[in-house]
């Protein structure tokens, strides 16, 4: 799991921590013009609430697979979220550096930080958890793990990492596409439910996901029992 450990923890170094400004009051005041007078009207912005469908499983095995997938998704999502946050901070920092030598020195600092921090924890991920993590990295950053390694290191290293990963049935080029792959839809369903019950902290994906289109494609309504004929 060294290749996945590198790409995640590459974003873990924050040299300049910034706190988000505290929001004062989300209440907005609008004015209506009535007979020449401006009448203030307050409006409160409400968060969008997604109505999630009831879960349906074809059989007991399908239910068990969902439960296992949920456990693995909840475990690795925080790493993908961290990658998206640190990628933005990292890119901003690199843009501030003019000299190539400064960027190279900064990269060495990051590499040392990686080796001393969460490597041991990430190495404990199973193969399936690693593949889910690769998908979620794409969901949160808009780029595959292969693309990120290629941009941050070199094309050869990305090629080598991908070949090594293929030996363990993990593709660093894997994208997250819940409209095409049913497992990705289930992962998105798991995330949305975890966001609503505040088990996970919501982070918008890097690209639009039409969740209801996915529901229409993959969800299966319960079959209604036919009325018994009188005889």
pLDDT of residue 185: 97
Question: Whose CA is closest to 209, among 184, 229, 226?
Answer: 184
Higher pLDDT, 35 or 59: 59
pLDDT in tens, 116-174: 656 666 778 899 999 999 999 999 999 998 888 787 776 666 676 677 777 678 898 99
Summarize the chain as % helix, strand, coil (round to 5): 55, 5, 40
Please list the alpha-helical segments (H only) found in 22-154. 60-96, 100-116, 119-122, 127-141, 145-152
Contact by Cβ (8 Å): 113, 9: yes
Higher pLDDT, 109 or 101: 101
pLDDT of residue 231: 46
Rounded (10°) CA dihedral 77, 81, 83, 88: 170
pTM attached to this predicted model: 0.73
Strand partners, 43: 28
Nearest-10 crossing angle of helices 182-196, 127-141: 70
Q: Is the per-residue pLDDT at 109 higher than 90?
A: no
Question: How far apart (Å, rounded) are the C-alpha atoms in residues 109 and 89?
Answer: 15
Nearest-10 crossing angle of helices 60-96, 100-116: 140
pLDDT in tens, 46-103: 556 678 888 888 999 999 999 999 999 999 999 889 888 877 777 777 778 888 888 7
pLDDT of residue 183: 97
């Amino acid at each position: 799991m060294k290749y996945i450990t590198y790409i995640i923890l590459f974003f873990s170094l924050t040299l300049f921590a910034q706190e988000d400004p505290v929001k004062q009051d989300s209440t907005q005041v609008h004015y209506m013009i009535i007979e020449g007078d401006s009448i203030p009207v307050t409006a409160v912005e409400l968060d969008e609430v997604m109505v999630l469908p009831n879960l349906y499983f074809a059989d007991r095995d399908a239910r068990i697979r969902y439960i296992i997938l949920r456990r693995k998704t909840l475990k690795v999502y925080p790493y993908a979220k961290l990658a998206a946050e640190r990628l933005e901070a990292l890119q901003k920092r690199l843009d501030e550096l003019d000299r190539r030598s400064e960027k190279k020195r900064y990269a060495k600092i990051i590499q040392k930080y990686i080796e001393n921090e969460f490597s041991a924890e990430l190495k404990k991920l199973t193969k399936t958890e690693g593949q889910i993590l690769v998908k979620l990295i794409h969901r949160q950053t808009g780029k595959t793990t292969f693309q990120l390694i290629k941009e941050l290191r070199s094309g050869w290293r990305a090629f080598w990492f991908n070949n090594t990963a293929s030996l363990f049935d993990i593709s660093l080029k894997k994208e997250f596409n819940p409209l095409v792959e049913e497992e990705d839809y289930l992962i998105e369903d798991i995330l949305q439910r975890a966001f609503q019950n505040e088990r996970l902290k919501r982070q918008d994906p890097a690209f639009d996901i039409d969740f209801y289109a996915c529901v229409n494609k993959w969800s299966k309504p319960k079959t209604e029992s036919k009325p018994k004929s009188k005889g």
